[in-house]
Structure 1
């Protein structure tokens, strides 16, 4: 599990313990703990948006679906990746292959989004 995966798991668990905690707040707290000496890593948007998109769609255990991000592109990537992961759980061992399935012919490289999804999936925090 990578550092952004650790942050996603910590954020999801924090929300499970305190249902008044919003996903954005939980994420900020988790990345500050995970990356205490790097504000640039704390504010990296791709893994944050991945986490918020999963929350928005109601796919994170103990997190109510809601309006947490406006990024349609990353939300679409996460929807596709989650569908692929559910169809083939072995993809949890290959973030690159999962990313390729999620983005199709887009020539983008994943920027920790798959770390977020795979970590939540492996920790049984995905509905």
Structure 2
């Protein structure tokens, strides 16, 4: 089975940070994140301006979870669909290696297929 564990990927992007030992407790926000999981929401988005503690909050939350978590750190260079999808698939494959296997040849080609919206 092919996977995206290519040496060109930055493995540090997949390492979740440890919650800081002296971080401010935010029980209300953590409760909201836990409530989203309890409600089986398929996606949780933590959005705030730079410096508001998004990464710290996520690290605190993940440290409390008793489940498998995938972490992917993004930066400005990941604002490219092929690069983003490549890293997303690689992150997911760390938990389930079969995820995205059919997408690998497309990503390795360096472009995503165009969709003809007139046909749909």
TM over 0.5: no
| TM-score (normalised: structure 2) | 0.28
Higher relative contact order (CA 8 A, sep 6+): 2
Larger CA Rg, structure 1 vs 2? 2
Taking structure 1 as the reference length, the TM-score comes to 0.27
**Structure (1 or 2) with the greater helix fraction:** 1
